[in-house]
């Protein structure tokens, strides 16, 4: 079976600025993937290209084996998308929003949509404009889910929500994944929102993929090493160094280990996911500083 | 998609309907009154007759038909097709401006389908509104057209108002996809609509087909210009050149019998090369030709503008 989302050398340029560059990744079906990166890393651009809103400037993107631009009529019914600002028609009632979903989607699940709205305790006659941010996000998610997509793309879905609304939103996503075969990609610049829900991680930084893989494998392979400064190069020969910091005689390395790390002169610590992501994003910040200086 | 297009365009459609309803309420009773009066006062027998008595009949008739015709004469109602056309563009422009298109474009329909249905709805409504506007005034003007000719209210009748409404819609859409600020786009588009209408009405239209001209002397009645569109009519010499030395010739040809003015000798005027009239005009028979051109011009430009807007929307990233 083809992967849910495949990109190959994907890039998008606006004028002379690359919003995303040389992004190659593969997201398997049935996974829940966190797309993490600082603001401006190209997360939104990547997701928009995946759903056909934006045309790539370089490389290719395929969703469920289809080109979202060329095969739009075939791909769109199978991909759900929720934009960052949770767009809904402000002057419409919730009932009218559901009608929009029904009219525009052949696979629409009216029963599930109504059940979800009832669960949220929202009157169908209520205008979208008068909803709170959290309610609005939930209605938008209800619409995206009732379409019964195979792949659901959520762009910074909880960035604008308060902690309680975040929790409720993520709970809805978890339930949807448990319910049926659904691949989810959700982006965020806050890892804490995603860790409980996701089983895979993609780190985008400086508009490129830095790291992609299952969270389990990522946590298992990354280590923090502390040891003599003059032997840091030997370590770099064996393992991928993500980040290094030097004191007078001592060096601290975050490495992606190739195989087991054992060396009496180095102390080895395990890292949690957040520390690993920060190591990658810190590296990104350092590179950006270099770019500015040069 | 049809329901969504209707739902989003509902307010604007109701505004257009309300404007037309208001005009209908005002002009239908006045039109019935004008048609009745036309028969009662035997105005028909004065059509194309320049006698003093007929001048009185016609003047009296226009006076008795009420103030609305005067309001129509003022030309302000020319603003209405533009208002309706611009209003019909707003739902699409607002969608694009506030990003809610990202909702519509990620449902199961293609963007092409979306823009096609939306534009189809807006264009259809614009045509209906323009046709309604035109039907009302074409009907209202029937008795007046008999008296003054159909040129008089050319831009309220038949095809022209449909073209104007479409043109305003196309302008608003094209400006809107370029500037992406709906409010500013609507203002700019409406300004451009008014400017284009004035330009066509006061300059371009008379040049669309070479006008006819005629020169006639004092003893001839000249061509029947009562239902023609007279672009200019000036005193001239025999060859049709504008005549300037009027005052001297007039003095030379005044016949007096010592104690007072008795008249002007036409023969004397003719000898001095005066007393002729030169007119440049479009005859009544060209009315349909001009209606066709006017409609093709405005609707054609509208089609280009709307196509441009659609193309921009399809290319939006």
Q: What is the ipTM of this complex?
A: 0.85
Model pLDDT, residue B44:
79
Over residues B150-166, mean pLDDT = 92
Q: What is the DSSP letter of A93?
A: B
Phi, psi (rounded to 5 degrees) for B19: -60, -45
Mutate to test the interface with B, among A89, A149, A155 (most CBs of B within 10 A): A89
Model pLDDT, residue A289:
60
Mutate to test the interface with B, among A18, A19, A53, A77 (most CBs of B within 10 A): A53
Q: Compute, in degrees rounded to 10, the torsion defined by CA atoms A187, A191, A193, A195.
A: 100
B-chain CB neighbours of A107 within 8 Å are 108
Of B273, B89, B109, residue with least CA distance to B189: B89
Looking at the DSSP assignment, which residues form a beta bridge with residue A244?
Answer: A253
Confidence of residue B257 (pLDDT cuts 50, 70, 90): low
User: Which domains does chain A show, CATH number per domain?
Assistant: 5-205 (3.40.50.300), 217-293 (no CATH)
A-chain CB neighbours of B106 within 8 Å are 51-53, 76, 79-81, 83
| Host H or E run for residue A222 | strand A222-228
Q: With an 8 Å Cβ cutoff, are B108 and A104 in contact?
A: yes
Looking at the DSSP assignment, which residues form a beta bridge with residue B213?
Answer: B280
pLDDT of B214 > 90? The answer is no
Over residues A69-80, mean pLDDT = 92
Give the pLDDT confidence of B259-287 residue by residue, as tens digits. 666 677 777 776 776 677 888 888 888 89
A161 versus B195: the higher-pLDDT residue is B195
A-chain CB neighbours of B8 within 8 Å are 89
User: Min CA distance, B293 vs chain A (Å)?
Assistant: 41
Looking at the DSSP assignment, which residues form a beta bridge with residue B235?
Answer: B277
* Residues whose CB falls within 8 Å of the CB of residue B79, separated by 6 or more in sequence, listed in order: B194
pTM, rounded to two decimals: 0.86
Give the pLDDT confidence of B4-19 residue by residue, as tens digits. 998 999 999 999 999 9
Q: With an 8 Å Cβ cutoff, are B98 and A87 in contact?
A: yes
Of B117, B91, B110, residue with least CA distance to A89: B91
Model pLDDT, residue A205:
77
Confidence of residue A291 (pLDDT cuts 50, 70, 90): low
Over residues A82-102, mean pLDDT = 93
B100 Cβ under 8 Å from any chain A Cβ: yes
pLDDT of B220 > 80? The answer is no
Burial call B168-188: b when 16+ CB within 10 Å, e when fewer: bbbbbbbbbbeeeebeebbeb
B-chain CB neighbours of A100 within 8 Å are 4, 107
Instruction: Tell me how many residue pairs between chain A and chain B have CB atoms under 8 A apart.
Output: 66
A-chain CB neighbours of B108 within 8 Å are 76-77, 104-107, 147
| Distance in angstroms (rounded) separating the CA atoms of residues A192 and B101 | 30
Confidence of residue A287 (pLDDT cuts 50, 70, 90): low
B94 Cβ under 8 Å from any chain A Cβ: no
pLDDT of A7 > 70? The answer is yes
pLDDT of A136 > 70? The answer is yes
B256 Cβ under 8 Å from any chain A Cβ: no
A-chain CB neighbours of B12 within 8 Å are none
From its phi and psi, is residue A59 left (phi > 0), alpha (psi between -120 and 50) or beta?
Answer: left
């Amino acid at each position: 079976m083809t992967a849910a989302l495949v990109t190959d050398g994907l890039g998008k340029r606006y004028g002379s600025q690359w919003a995303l560059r040389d992004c190659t990744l593969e997201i398997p079906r049935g996974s829940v993937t966190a797309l993490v990166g600082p603001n401006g890393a190209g997360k939104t651009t990547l997701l928009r290209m995946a759903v056909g809103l934006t045309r790539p400037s370089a490389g290719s993107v395929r969703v469920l084996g289809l080109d979202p631009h060329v095969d739009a009529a075939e791909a769109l019914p199978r991909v759900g998308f929720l934009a960052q600002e949770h767009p809904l028609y402000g002057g419409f009632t919730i009932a009218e929003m559901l009608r929009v979903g029904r009219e525009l989607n052949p696979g629409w699940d009216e029963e599930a949509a109504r059940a979800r709205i009832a669960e949220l305790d929202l009157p169908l006659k209520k205008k979208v404009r008068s909803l709170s941010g959290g309610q609005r996000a939930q209605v938008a998610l209800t619409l995206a889910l009732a379409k019964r997509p195979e792949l659901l793309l959520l762009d910074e879905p909880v960035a604008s929500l308060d902690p309680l609304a975040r929790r409720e939103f993520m709970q809805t996503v978890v339930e949807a994944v448990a319910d049926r075969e659904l691949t989810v990609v959700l982006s965020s610049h806050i890892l804490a929102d995603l860790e409980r829900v996701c089983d895979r991680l993609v780190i985008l930084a400086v508009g490129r993929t830095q790291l992609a893989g299952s969270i389990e494998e990522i946590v298992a392979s990354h280590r923090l090493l502390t040891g003599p400064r003059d032997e840091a190069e030997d370590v770099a020969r064996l393992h991928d160094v993500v980040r290094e910091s030097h004191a007078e005689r001592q060096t601290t390395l975050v490495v992606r280990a190739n195989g087991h790390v054992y060396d009496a002169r180095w102390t080895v610590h395990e890292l949690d996911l957040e520390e690993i992501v920060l190591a990658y994003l810190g590296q990104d910040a350092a590179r950006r500083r270099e770019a500015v200086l040069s | 998609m049809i329901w969504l297009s209707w739902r989003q365009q509902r307010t604007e459609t109701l505004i257009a309907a309300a404007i037309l309803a208001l005009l209908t309420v005002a002009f239908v009773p006045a039109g019935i009154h004008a048609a009745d009066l036309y028969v009662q006062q035997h105005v028909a027998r004065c059509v194309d007759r320049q006698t003093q008595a007929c001048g009185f009949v016609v003047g009296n008739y226009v006076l008795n038909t009420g103030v609305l015709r005067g309001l129509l004469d003022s030309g302000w109602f020319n603003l209405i097709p533009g208002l309706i056309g611009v209003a019909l563009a707003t739902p699409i422009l607002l969608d694009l401006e506030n990003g809610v298109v990202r909702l519509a474009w990620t449902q199961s329909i293609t963007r092409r389908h979306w823009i096609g249905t939306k534009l189809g709805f807006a264009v259809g409504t614009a045509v209906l509104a323009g046709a309604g506007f035109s039907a009302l005034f074409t009907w209202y003007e029937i008795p007046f057209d008999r008296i003054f000719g159909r040129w008089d209210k050319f831009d309220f009748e038949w095809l022209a108002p449909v073209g104007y409404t479409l043109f305003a819609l196309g302008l608003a859409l094209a400006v809107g996809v370029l500037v992406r600020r709906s409010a500013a786009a609507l203002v700019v588009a409406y300004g451009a609509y008014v400017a284009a209408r004035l330009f066509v009405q006061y300059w371009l239209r008379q040049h669309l087909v070479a006008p006819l001209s005629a020169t006639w002397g004092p003893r001839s009645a000249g061509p029947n210009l009562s239902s023609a569109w007279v672009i200019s009519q000036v005193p001239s010499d025999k060859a049709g050149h504008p005549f300037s030395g009027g005052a001297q010739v007039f003095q030379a040809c005044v016949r007096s019998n010592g104690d007072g003015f008795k008249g002007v000798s036409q023969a004397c005027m003719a000898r001095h090369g005066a007393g002729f009239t030169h007119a440049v005009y479009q005859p009544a028979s060209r009315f349909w030709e001009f209606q066709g051109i006017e409609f093709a011009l405005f609707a054609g430009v509208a089609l280009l503008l709307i196509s441009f807007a659609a193309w921009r929307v399809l290319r939006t990233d």
